[in-house]
Every structure is written in structure tokens, then in C-alpha cells.
Amino acid sequence: MDDSLDLEFAVTYRHRIFFTEGAFAAGNRVLADLFAGAKVIPFVDAGLANAHPGFVAEVVAYGKAMGVHFTRTPLVLTGGEAAKKDSAVVKAALAAIEADKICRHSYVLAIGGGAFLDAVGFAAATAHRGVRLVRMPTTTLGQGRRRRRREEWHQHFR
């Protein structure tokens, strides 16, 4: 008796890319429409926060003005290459995701450079078997070298 099953199936993914200027300007609906009432936990690269001291307040003001349900003031974490040298950023992001009861219907918003986006993205991918991630790259490296970063993370955890 042959007790086997041979099935084929396909999984469809949608990868959306939005282009905008002044993403956190009052009246810019790109993020507000994307999040559409879902809970959002925001993370900001410390390098960005230090270079633009009013940025975190701008994100908070946008959330209030546009009705975005940010679960907290953006969590500012170490960015740059230090973000991937140890697991501190990943652990902090995972702890915040858990504390804010972020689920698979929520969003993680990561704003920063490439290594920062990878660290927060890794946390989002491993929390609850994957939480939706919105990446807002602030460096050329963050925009264009994603594949290389994945390979570096893979090597780090071997």
C-alpha cells in the first residue's frame, strides 16, 4: 500500500516599495495609509537621532497628527557596524516587541542605516515567526546592499 501524497503549491508574496519626501510631514499619508490602524513599534538608529536631534519628536508628532498607533516613543538603539557586532540591538528589539505585545498583525518600523535595519529586521523576522517590517533606509548602503548584509548575518550566526 502506497500512503503518500505529492502536492504542489505556490506562495505569493507582495513586496511594496513607496517613494516619498517628508515622510513624517503633517499631511503625508503614505505611512498612515500603510499602517491603517495597526499597532506600530518604531525603532530609530542612534546615529540618525544624534545627527537630527528633533527627529524622534517629529515621528511622535506625525503619529499623533495622522492617527498612527505607535506603541511607544521611538526606541533609539545603536546603529552602524556596532549594531551587528553583538546581539544587543537584536535583544533590545525583541524585548520591546514582546513588551508592546506586537503580533503578526502589527508592524515594526525601522529607520536608520543598513546594519541597523538588518539587526531590527532580524528581530522582526524571528519574533512570533515574523512580524511585518517597514524599512526606512537613511544611508546609501542601507538602500542598496541588503543582500550582502543578509550574508554577513548568516555568517555571524553559523
Tell me the per-residue pLDDT of 7-49, one tens digit each, with 9 for 90 and over: 999 989 888 888 999 999 989 999 999 999 999 999 999 999 9
pTM score: 0.84
- Class of residue 31 by CB neighbours under 10 A (exposed 0-12, middle 13-18, buried 19+): buried
Fold classification of 37-156 (topology level):
Rossmann fold (3.40.50)
Note the pLDDT tens digit of each residue in 37-80. Answer: 999 999 999 999 999 999 999 999 999 999 999 999 999 999 99
Q: What residues does each domain of the chain span?
A: 37-156
Note the pLDDT tens digit of each residue in 81-124. Answer: 899 888 999 999 999 999 999 999 999 999 999 999 999 999 99
As a 3-state breakdown, the chain gives helix, strand, coil percent values, each rounded to 5, of 45, 15, 40
How far does CA 60 lie from the centroid of its chain? 16
Do the strands 107-112 and 39-45 form a parallel or antiparallel pair, or are they unpaired?
A: parallel
